[in-house]
Amino acid sequence: MILQEGNLQFDFNGVIDAFKFDEKDRSKGTFHGLSHCMKAVDFIVETENKCIISIM
């Protein structure tokens, strides 16, 4: 699974789930409407053993 932030791409190969947390598209299932107050969190990645929150 490849996610992009600006001109950077991250390959989260073999994870259970990964999504862009600051999704702005209301039609996507990961849209939450809190981007105005949680701008620092870019990705949330779930592996078999842990959940990783990426702050860029």
Evaluate if pTM is beyond 0.85. no
Q: Looking at residue 21, what is its pLDDT?
A: 75
Residue range(s) defining the domain that contains residue 24: 2-55
Q: Based on the structure, what is the number of domains in the chain?
A: 1
What does each of the 56 residues of the chain score in pLDDT, given as a tens digit?
888 888 888 898 889 988 877 777 788 777 776 666 666 667 788 888 887 776 66
Q: Which two tokens stand for residue 49?
A: 């053993």
